[in-house]
Structure 1
Amino acid sequence: MNAESNLIPLLNIAEEDVNRQMQICNACRYCEGFCAVFPAMTQRLEFNKADIHYLANLCHNCGACLHACQYAAPHEFDVNIPRSMAKVRLQTYTDFAWPKKFGTLYQRNGVTLAISSALALGLFLILTLVIQGNLFTEIEGGDFYQIFPHNTLVTMFGSVFGFSALALLIGVVQFWRKVAPTQEKRQQTPVTAMLQAGEAALTLKYLDGGHGQGCNNEDDAYTLARRRFHHMTFYGFMLCFAATSVATLYHYVMGWQAPYPVFSIPVMLGIIGGLGLLVGPAGLLYLNYQRHPDHGDQAQRPMDRAFIILLFMISLTGLLLLGFRETALMPLMLALHLGFVMAFFLTMPYSKFAHGFYRCAALFKSYLERLKEKKSKS
């Protein structure tokens, strides 16, 4: 039993349900090889609040354990790890959100809120263009900085992105301080555990169902579709981020001003990444609508879909902006694209985007525990 357990607050209903199911799973252990949750579970006899938050963020909601479980409904034990873990995960994002009051956005960040925010921002920019008289003006060379000055965009988007990144960082640090035991915080960070956690996150190792055939979505048939669409989404996003980073380097270090040729590095990175951010989110949205209702928490589906749709629309409007940048439609496409990007930045710490960072922290802790267990046995 953890010596600090008496200092940890009582479990709420969602956490108590995870505690109950973990006790059953710990006695059964049939799913021990499925993912990182069950090896971490076996190292505990009791589960305090911090343990449950940690295990919930280790869960990748692959669904394999649900279809393998002999105690799932209609059994009276009604064991459903993906659903119960999803409920606790949402609670952790809410509890550790910064500023604290903004945590309620996790519970309200549905399709309507996200898309309406993006369209409202886009409409504001469109009205600005109407007032300026250049909504449907063809700009020579497609230089959108003639529509909105470079320094204005950097100030607006840089400040919002900086705040969101800070809020996300503070939330993850608070989460780590809660789930990591005191001795774990003080020990020197093993590079091995960090590398293993990074590899697991980048390859989505635990979306393979524990056997390499994939996870479950609509039924008990295995599929790698979710893993592949996640990869397209993640690496598409990273390529778009790389495109922005290279363009920033060009502007401030090399002194090369946008717009850049189609076959330049930032534009090519943006095109490839944008295509990934079209196919990946489109596939994930389709799978989300097809997913079995027992997989995860139904109440969170709107938040999941909002995040997916935002990514898709950012990519779609970005590619349209590139395609129409030398036409009279460019200002309109620019306003719509900037509206979706700003909405994404504003909701970033309080949307599904945050789950990747919490999950990486949980994965790091799990590999630290494995190294410690391996060392104790040697």
Structure 2
Amino acid sequence: MPCTDDTQQSAADARRALDICNACQFCDGYCTVFRALKMRRLISVADLTFLSNLCHNCRSCYHACQYAPPHAFDLNLPKSLSLVRQQTYRDHVWPPPFRGRLPYAGWPAVAVVAAVALSAVMLVGMPALIWIPPDVLFGRHSGPGAFYRLVPWGAIAGVAGAVMLWSLLAVGFSVASFWRGMGPVPAGVAFLPALRDALCDAATLRNLGGGGAGCNDRDERFSQARRRFHHALFYGVVLCFASTGAATIYHHRLGWQAPYPLLSLPVLLGGIGGAGMLIGAAGLALLKLRADPGPVARSLTGADCSLLALLFLVAASGLGLLALRETAAMGPLLLVHLGLVLGWFATLPYSKFLHAPFRFAALLRAAMERQCKEWGRG
């Protein structure tokens, strides 16, 4: 980690909290963080990188902790790990010249995401406003190929594909750097069983269950709301990408051009996925704004909410386009939706989205360690 006063203090606070937790061990059954912590006597920089991203921030440990404020120890593990986790995004971003320079927290992060999204909307919209006649832009279009009368398919696929390819490349290199930052890989581990366990943990969000009853979303009461909203958002995004895949097959294999009928596979998948994204993004944002401020690093709320707002707008514009695609609003809505999708793709490696692949990498490392521990018992 870059040696600034803030990062050094965040790392020191997290290491002190983990040392106390390792001595206490009251929360061992709460999540996989504590099981991984028990395997460590001294907390290194690599351990902080790993454990902070393994934490799902369910906050159960905070409300169960006898050393939490107002105790003199002032122990706040969720907040400490959140600050270290945010720093890992800055430390492992790609390309390397960006490391330590991009804002991942507070209003600067909101400004960056908003600026990129707005620029993408302008990039799509301004040329269209210049070159598309008003009677075409605001006209009623229906039937196969209606979208492409406004924006050619090659322009849509080419620009979005290029931006997405860059983002996937950047995310891949960032995850590779993060994987190395977690330290050496446990030796002699069977990769496929560990991958299966990590995929199961990620798909079920098991570690958002706290000790089994759920998260402490607002106060000391347990709740499954955050887990359900996460599921709605995650599987909504998955269904939207599945819709795009189905539309690609329709277009290239079957020769059918969008827009497709309401009961077609691309529309059904996209409609359900868009609704899931709306519900998930709105629900998570509401929970964040109403959360108990004690275990929350408030400086990070802006970065969280900016990504949720962008995902909400992507889904809302897509559903609006679906509902109004045979009206005069179709042209402007198409341009706005394409711009927002492009902005989302462009910010993938440089927004809070990076927490998803980093957390999965941490879950995979934890599954490998559990396998080694089980073998050691045998």
Whether 2:112 is the aligned partner of 1:113: answer yes
Alpha-carbon distance between aligned partners in 2 of 1:97 and 1:118, rounded to the nearest angstrom: 19
After TM superposition, where is structure 1 displaced by more than 4 Å over at least 4 residues in a row?
none
Deviation at 1:365, TM superposition (A): 0.9
Q: Deviations over 1:181-240 (max 9, x none)?
A: 15x2x64543221111111111010111122x2110221011110000101000111000
Alpha-carbon distance between aligned partners in 2 of 1:120 and 1:365, rounded to the nearest angstrom: 38
Which residue of the partner structure matches residue 147 of structure 2?
Answer: 144
Alpha-carbon distance between aligned partners in 1 of 2:360 and 2:255, rounded to the nearest angstrom: 37
Aligned residue pair count: 368
- Give the letter aligned to residue 104 of structure 2: Y
Which residue of the partner structure matches residue 198 of structure 1?
Answer: 199
Tell me, which stretches of 5 or more residues in structure 2 are unaligned? none
Does the 8 A contact of 1:262 with 1:268 survive in 2? yes
Which residue of the partner structure matches residue 94 of structure 1?
Answer: 90
Which residue of the partner structure matches residue 43 of structure 1?
Answer: 39
Which residue of the partner structure matches residue 54 of structure 2?
Answer: 58
Cα RMSD between the aligned structures? 1.9
Which residue of the partner structure matches residue 261 of structure 1?
Answer: 261
Alpha-carbon distance between aligned partners in 1 of 2:334 and 2:108, rounded to the nearest angstrom: 25
Deviation at 1:36, TM superposition (A): 0.6
- Give the letter aligned to residue 76 of structure 1: A
Does the 8 A contact of 1:84 with 1:296 survive in 2? no
SS of the equivalent of 2:270 reads helix
Alpha-carbon distance between aligned partners in 2 of 1:230 and 1:352, rounded to the nearest angstrom: 14
The range that moved more, 133-142 or 155-164, is 133-142
Does the 8 A contact of 1:115 with 1:306 survive in 2? yes
Alpha-carbon distance between aligned partners in 1 of 2:10 and 2:140, rounded to the nearest angstrom: 56
- Give the letter aligned to residue 53 of structure 1: T
Deviation at 1:166, TM superposition (A): 0.6
Identity %: 42
The range that moved more, 145-154 or 251-260, is 251-260
> CA 1:118/1:190 → structure 2, altered by over 3 Å: closer, same or farther?
closer
Tell me, which stretches of 5 or more residues in structure 1 are unaligned? 1-8
Q: Deviations over 1:312-362 (max 9, x none)?
A: 110100011111111111011011111211111111111121111111111
Give me the TM-score of the superposition, normalised by structure 1: 0.93
Alpha-carbon distance between aligned partners in 2 of 1:65 and 1:256, rounded to the nearest angstrom: 53
Give me the TM-score of the superposition, normalised by structure 2: 0.93
> CA 1:187/1:252 → structure 2, altered by over 3 Å: closer, same or farther?
farther
Q: Deviations over 1:2-29 (max 9, x none)?
A: xxxxxxx998221121111111111100
The range that moved more, 97-106 or 358-367, is 97-106
- Give the letter aligned to residue 205 of structure 2: L
Q: Deviations over 1:231-289 (max 9, x none)?
A: 10001110001000111122222322222111111111001111111111111111111
> CA 1:252/1:187 → structure 2, altered by over 3 Å: closer, same or farther?
farther
Alpha-carbon distance between aligned partners in 2 of 1:187 and 1:169, rounded to the nearest angstrom: 24
SS of the equivalent of 1:376 reads helix
Deviation at 1:54, TM superposition (A): 0.2
